[in-house]
């Protein structure tokens, strides 16, 4: 049995689908703090708060999972509004899972998402390497950097097989992201189709590492399938996708929707968060250790997003 904690989120929703396809729906238990918007029996859904350690223990004892994916977290922009809550959820949610995995002993593999948010103003901006100065200044980035240190520590000290990816901003059409700085790159598609225009809260030249959801899910499963002995990183793997600016994605959309209008607001607090992050990532370790290779470039992503939004929304 595989348990997904935080299955209602942007990544959780699609990871759950991919894992059901791979392992069979009957083997996947999805959970979140509240019911999904569109409940269906195939989800084997149970409500759980990852901060309730006793409830989490009962869930793990009931289902005896061999794998746990912990995707419950508060993202960067919302985290800046509620820093103490973000720290509590992101850190104690992780510690509850790690400590129960040590205590119960039946969880063979754990997946926990980190983020390019672990880099900060003094990290190299271009082709940011796996190892470098990391001075994140968002509570989300601080919690993800601390989380990476915990994952490596619990692997070294207790032998837990925890695997992690520093996700870039993720673009998808099935489930809207919740409270991230990179969310503009998702909103732009919805509004391009709904209104024919979009006002970006990030400036035209703000380059950020991004990735299409299909690639992010494929990378996650590829990492989880890799033989443990091939993994040289037990903090979290850099993963590069495509780096682009709001201006670039607007141009790409205009190739398909010629009348699309892009504008820019200023003064949004998310601009400072974005400015503290890298512009592009070097993912040599993911390529070397588990043969990672990106499939969707900006053009392919844009085409797929518009095609799916036109037929599904």
Cβ proximity to ligand VAH, 25 vs 248, nearer residue: 248
- Residue 183 neighbours by CB under 8 Å, 6+ apart: 77, 169, 176, 177
244 binds ligand VAH (CB under 6 A): no
180 binds ligand VAH (CB under 6 A): yes
* Rounded Cα distance, 207 and 304, in Å: 21
Cβ proximity to ligand VAH, 107 vs 273, nearer residue: 273
Stretch that binds ligand VAH, among 120-128, 174-182, 215-223, 260-268 (CB under 6 A): 174-182
By CB under 6 A, the count of residues binding ligand VAH is 12
* Rounded Cα distance, 50 and 90, in Å: 10
Token pair belonging to 229: 């002995």
Cβ proximity to ligand VAH, 168 vs 246, nearer residue: 168
65 binds ligand VAH (CB under 6 A): no
**Residue 204 to residues 28, 163, 262: CA-CA distances in angstroms?**
41, 35, 9
Stretch that binds ligand VAH, among 16-24, 31-39, 124-132, 176-184 (CB under 6 A): 176-184
Which of 9, 169, 241, 278 forms a contact with ligand VAH (CB under 6 A)?
169
Residues designated as active site:
140
Within 108-147, the residues that bind ligand VAH by CB under 6 A are 115-117, 140
Q: Where are the beta strands (DSSP E) in the chain?
A: 2-5, 28-32, 45-47, 67-70, 109-111, 114-115, 162-163, 165-167, 169-171, 197-200, 208-212, 237-238, 242-244, 261-264
Binding site for ligand VAH (CB under 6 A): 75-76, 115-117, 140, 168-169, 177, 180-182
């Amino acid at each position: 049995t595989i348990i997904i904690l935080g299955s209602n989120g942007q990544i959780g929703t699609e990871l759950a689908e991919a894992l059901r396809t791979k392992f069979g729906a009957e083997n996947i238990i999805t959970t979140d703090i509240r019911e999904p918007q569109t409940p269906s029996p195939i989800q084997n859904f149970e409500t759980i708060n990852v901060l309730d350690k006793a409830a989490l223990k009962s869930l793990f004892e009931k289902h005896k999972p061999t794998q746990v994916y912990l995707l419950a977290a508060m993202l960067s922009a919302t985290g800046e509004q509620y820093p103490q809550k973000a720290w509590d959820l992101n850190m104690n949610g992780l510690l509850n899972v790690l400590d129960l995995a040590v205590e119960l002993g039946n969880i063979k593999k754990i997946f926990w998402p980190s983020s390019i948010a672990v880099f900060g103003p003094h990290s190299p901006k271009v082709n940011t390497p796996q190892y470098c100065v990391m001075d994140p200044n968002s509570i989300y980035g601080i919690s993800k950097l601390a989380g990476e240190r915990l994952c490596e520590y619990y692997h070294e000290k207790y032998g837990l097989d925890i695997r992690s990816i520093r996700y870039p901003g993720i673009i998808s059409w099935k489930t809207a992201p919740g409270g991230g700085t990179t969310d503009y790159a998702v909103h732009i598609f919805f509004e391009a189709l709904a209104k024919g225009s979009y006002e970006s809260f990030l400036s035209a030249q703000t380059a950020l590492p991004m990735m299409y959801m299909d690639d992010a899910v494929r990378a996650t499963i590829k990492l989880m399938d890799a033989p443990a002995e091939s993994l040289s990183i037990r903090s979290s793997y850099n993963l590069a996708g495509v780096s682009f600016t709001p201006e670039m994605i607007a141009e790409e959309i205009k190739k398909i929707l010629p009348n699309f209008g892009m504008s820019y607001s200023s003064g949004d607090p998310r601009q400072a968060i974005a400015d503290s992050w890298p512009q592009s990532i070097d993912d040599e370790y993911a390529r070397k250790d588990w043969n990672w290779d990106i499939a969707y470039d900006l053009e392919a992503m844009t085409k797929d997003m518009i095609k799916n939004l036109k037929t599904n929304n």
